[in-house]
Structure 1
Amino acid sequence: MTSQDPITAVILAGGLSSRMGGGNKGLKLLNGQPLLTYIIKAITPQVSHSVINANGPPEALHSFHLPIQVDTLPGFQGPLAGILAGMEWALQHVPSCQYIVTIPADSPFIPSNLVEKLKEAQQKHHTILALARSNGQCHPVVGLWPLTLHHALHEALTREKIHKILRFTEKYSLAYADFSVEDIDPFMNINTPQDLQKAEELMTRQGL
């Protein structure tokens, strides 16, 4: 993989968002803007293509001007199903693409060097996969995935009934890209209204 190889960002917005009152969590407002706005702004310069994995009404996402890919397996099977759907979108629409980068729709502080550091970790350690890590904590939904795993992932979900990311990745070589945590954890998730308030306070404090 070189710096010129196309990489597709898969923004995982297909969850149920039960702790936020339901609906698409990426549409929750942070300082007056949807969470998805921050994610898209951060990831777009780092990749060649982007797609949103979401299972709700697609018209709610049309204003972001990105393709929308629903889960290709029935039922809400979690982020692994979203990763599979993103792989299938890339295979169909970006034939030259070999990797996808996955990010959640509820992490508004995604770093501007995310893709670069994931690629560096994967290449340095000659691994199949790379996941993000901050303050010693792994973030399974933030990772670099080769499309060559598409068939294995489909089998894991449909035959082996594996639904946890780390349960799937344990079968493959894996590198971690470490990110510093100063005032803000770059992979902070917005899971509750309290998290949303905390993120607003952090943004105000940082002048973002």
Structure 2
Amino acid sequence: MYALILAGGKASRLGMGEKALVRFLNRPLLSYVIESVTSAGLEPFVIVTSQTPYTSNYCRIQGIPLILTDGAGYVEDIWQAVLDLSITGPFLTICADLPGITPEQINSVLDLYKESGYPACSVWTPYAVDLPTETIFRIKDTNHDIPGKPVGLNILRADLIEEVQDELKILIEDPFLSLNINTREELVLAEKIFSSGCKRLNQQPIIL
């Protein structure tokens, strides 16, 4: 399966140049995601635009496959990459600023997705949530409600490109997955958490 890694945005809120190349514990953010998706057995392609020339150069130097899109928007760039790669089945999308993702988590998501029969899948975490009430979920087959925020990892089917795809929603209770890097403050906080020796939660994903 292809893993399309989104790395074509301006990252104006962060203000540190191209986000995918921002140093996180002395490594580019993008390198963490590349390492995890390849270790999970997926084939990575980094989606870049004219706004991210240094990320494009980094990928070429490192031998990382990339797709140059028009930068028309998040969804538009994904579909352009899908068409350029002639993808016809399921594919995974993931943000380049998710250093906390692990190969084990990706494989767990893939297994649940394949078993579910749903055409699409989204991944959520209950941590660091400050979102409207519509992001409160009822855990399947229970009376327990739980908040959730999107992680930035999804699965879609290319052959249903023109349709609204019903999605399996998976929640992973791992605080490291809440660490999307959008501001300098979030970068500092994430580095502190990663450097603290805090143990990862080894909990099974929850179907919402």
Which residue does 1:20 correspond to in 2? Answer: 14
- The answer (yes or no) to whether the contact 1:111–1:186 under 8 Å persists in 2 is no
Alignment CA distance shift 1:24-1:85 (3 Å): farther
Confirm or deny that 1:9 pairs with 2:37. no
CA RMSD of aligned residues (A): 2.3
- The answer (yes or no) to whether the contact 2:124–2:170 under 8 Å persists in 1 is yes
Q: Which amino acid aligns with 2:172?
A: F
- The answer (yes or no) to whether the contact 1:110–1:186 under 8 Å persists in 2 is yes
Alignment partner of 1:77 out of 61, 72, 75: 72
Alignment partner of 2:155 out of 137, 144, 153: 144
Overall identity of the aligned pairs, in %: 21
Q: Secondary structure at the match of 1:59?
A: helix
- The answer (yes or no) to whether the contact 1:99–1:147 under 8 Å persists in 2 is yes
- Distance in 2 between residues matched to 1:89 and 1:23, nearest whole Å: 27
Q: Secondary structure at the match of 1:113?
A: helix
| Structure 1 spans left out of the alignment, 5+ residues | 1-6, 154-170
Higher percent of residues as helix: 1
Q: Which amino acid aligns with 2:26?
A: G
TM-score (norm 2): 0.74
Confirm or deny that 1:90 pairs with 2:78. no
Post-superposition offset of 1:49: 1.2
Equivalenced residue count is 175
- The answer (yes or no) to whether the contact 2:156–2:165 under 8 Å persists in 1 is no
Alignment CA distance shift 1:22-1:70 (3 Å): farther
Post-superposition offset of 1:207: 7.1
Q: Which amino acid aligns with 1:205?
A: S
Post-superposition offset of 1:176: 1.1
Q: Which amino acid aligns with 1:64?
A: Q
Q: Which amino acid aligns with 2:170?
A: A
- The answer (yes or no) to whether the contact 2:122–2:170 under 8 Å persists in 1 is yes
